[in-house]
Amino acid sequence: MLERMLPFLSRNFLGRKRDQAAADLPVRVGHMAPRNSRMLEYDQNLVWVTLLLLAYGLVMVYSATISFHDSVRYAQWSPYHYFARDLFSIAAALLASWIVVQIPMAELQKWSMRFFFLSLIGLVLVLLPHIGKDVNGSKRWVVFPGGLNFQPSELVKLTALIYAADFMVRKQEVKQSLLKTFLPMMAVMMIVGVLLLAEPDMGAFLVIASITLAILFLGGANGKLFSVFSVAVIGAFVLMIVLSPWRRDRIFAYLNPWSESNALGSAYQLSHALIAMGRGEWFGVGLGGSIEKLHYLPEAHTDFLLAIIGEELGLVGVGVVIFAFYWIVRRAFDIGRQALVLDRMYSALVGQGIGVWIGGQAFINIGVNLGLLPTKGLTLPLMSYGGSALLLNCMAIAVLLRVDFENRVLMRGGHV
């Protein structure tokens, strides 16, 4: 009798014990996501904040450009021309982001060097006749059939970031060495700088140099050598300003934008941006009620979009923008720190590097619009009109979401 009951007891009583023990485990063996886990697959808040900025920017670009067709220069276009193009750019950027978020970080690291050097070809192409497009004396765009333009310097911001992160991971054993770490990176940055200044695009070079310096610092580079490298970069920028008459004029105009010669010359954009901000006061003059966008403030839909936000929506509207970028930067550093805890150095540097990029460029643009920094041609990330910038900003956020996704998988006990 006992022999007959043993199989029954084994199948029922002992089997239930095993199931109960498995259920009590913090991670279920063989499952990437336990049923009782409340952790989401991705950071929904980051997605929603990004979509909020994209929608906010779309509305303000439409408001800033709705009167453009009154000018002879834009008479052939409808009032919805820039709105339609911006909407198309956002759609293309979201599609590209969906593709990018599928790429594992290990694959991105493996291809990072090749992506970076391929992107440098674009900086060469813009300097070639019939390929590069000249706008106001600058050659920054490659022209494609169908009237599509692409700005390679925006792509280099992303590829330089992922290359610098991979470089620091590969140089962990010799990161204190001047010969093996700092000189090779300085040589690469000199090549990038020469190509960008030939366009010229000092703003893009400033952002790329800042990203590279930040990743060297976050990667644990030697403090003294890092200081020397930083001083060399700052010295190079000072030298470029000193040797360029029109850059010097912008600096002096920034110091006194209200003098008659400056207000009608080098500080024309800055003075009208400050007028727009002043008119907005706390709550603005109302959406669509800006006067400065009526052909007074040049580039109101790109570099000075924030001034139109300040005029129409006031300090409250500007405050929403500043808080959103603060939140994205903080979230990027949180994701990077979590990757570092999980011993994923490359992902940590990429995540925090994206925070430096988005936050640094937003800081410069906001500072220029508020008169805190000299005028510099940098767009407001995720908001200003410009297909290339929107595309690469969204792709950068997609990479950040991928880092966060892989963090969550590993915290569940899965594999990436």
Instruction: Please name which of 280, 271, 357, 287 lies closest in space to residue 318, comparing C-alpha atoms.
Output: 280
Residue 1 has a pLDDT of 44
Average pLDDT, the chain: 85
Strand partners, 133: 141
Q: How far apart are CA 397 and CA 155, in angstroms?
A: 14
pLDDT of 386 > 50? The answer is yes
Residue 178 has a pLDDT of 64
pLDDT in tens, 163-187: 999 999 988 775 666 677 778 888 8
pLDDT of 297 > 70? The answer is yes
Q: How far apart are CA 225 and CA 232, in angstroms?
A: 11
Of residues 294 and 416, which shows the higher confidence score? 294
The one-character DSSP state at 29 is T
Q: Confidence class of residue 3 from pLDDT cuts 50, 70 and 90?
A: very low
pLDDT in tens, 70-108: 777 777 788 888 999 999 999 999 999 999 999 999 999
How is 159-180 classified by DSSP, letter by letter? Answer: HHHHHHHHHHHHTGGGTT-III
Q: Confidence class of residue 34 from pLDDT cuts 50, 70 and 90?
A: very low
Average pLDDT over residues 361-378: 90
Residue 35 has a pLDDT of 45
Q: How far apart are CA 324 and CA 5, in angstroms?
A: 67
Residue 17 has a pLDDT of 43
Both ends of the chain: CA-CA distance in Å? 52
Of residues 326 and 269, which shows the higher confidence score? 326
Most confident range (mean pLDDT) of 72-86, 140-154, 249-263, 331-345 is 331-345
Helix (H, G, I), strand (E, B) or coil at 342: coil
Q: How far apart are CA 327 and CA 66, in angstroms?
A: 31
pTM of the model: 0.87
Q: How far apart are CA 8 and CA 20, in angstroms?
A: 18
pLDDT of 40 > 50? The answer is yes
Average pLDDT over residues 230-259: 79
Contact assessment for residue 23 and residue 267, using Cβ atoms and an 8 Å cutoff: no
Q: Confidence class of residue 37 from pLDDT cuts 50, 70 and 90?
A: low
Burial class (CB in 10 A: 0-12, 13-18, 19+), 413: middle
Instruction: Please name which of 293, 330, 296, 329 lies closest in space to residue 313, comparing C-alpha atoms.
Output: 293
Q: Confidence class of residue 399 from pLDDT cuts 50, 70 and 90?
A: very high
Average pLDDT over residues 103-131: 92
Average pLDDT over residues 151-162: 94
Q: Confidence class of residue 30 from pLDDT cuts 50, 70 and 90?
A: very low
Q: How far apart are CA 265 and CA 262, in angstroms?
A: 5
413 contact partners, CB below 8 Å, separation of at least 6? 27, 32
Instruction: Please name which of 124, 154, 120, 155 lies closest in space to residue 139, comparing C-alpha atoms.
Output: 124
Residue 22 has a pLDDT of 42
Instruction: Return the minimum-mean-pLDDT range out of 24-38, 163-177, 340-354.
Output: 24-38
Which secondary structure element, helix H or strand E, spans residue 142, and what is its range?
Answer: strand 138-144
Instruction: Return the minimum-mean-pLDDT range out of 37-41, 53-57, 192-196, 410-414.
Output: 37-41
Residue 413 has a pLDDT of 83
Q: How far apart are CA 65 and CA 272, in angstroms?
A: 16
Which secondary structure element, helix H or strand E, spans residue 149, and what is its range?
Answer: strand 148-150
Q: Confidence class of residue 39 from pLDDT cuts 50, 70 and 90?
A: low
141 phi, psi to nearest 5 deg: -125, 140
285 phi, psi to nearest 5 deg: -90, 0
pLDDT of 308 > 70? The answer is yes
Residue 230 has a pLDDT of 82
pLDDT in tens, 188-224: 888 998 898 888 888 888 899 999 989 988 888 777 7
Instruction: Please name which of 409, 297, 266, 263 lies closest in space to residue 63, comparing C-alpha atoms.
Output: 297
The one-character DSSP state at 38 is -
Of residues 184 and 399, which shows the higher confidence score? 399
Of residues 200 and 134, which shows the higher confidence score? 200
Q: Confidence class of residue 354 from pLDDT cuts 50, 70 and 90?
A: very high
- The two tokens of residue 380 are 């407001």
Q: How far apart are CA 387 and CA 366, in angstroms?
A: 20
- The two tokens of residue 245 are 């008459």
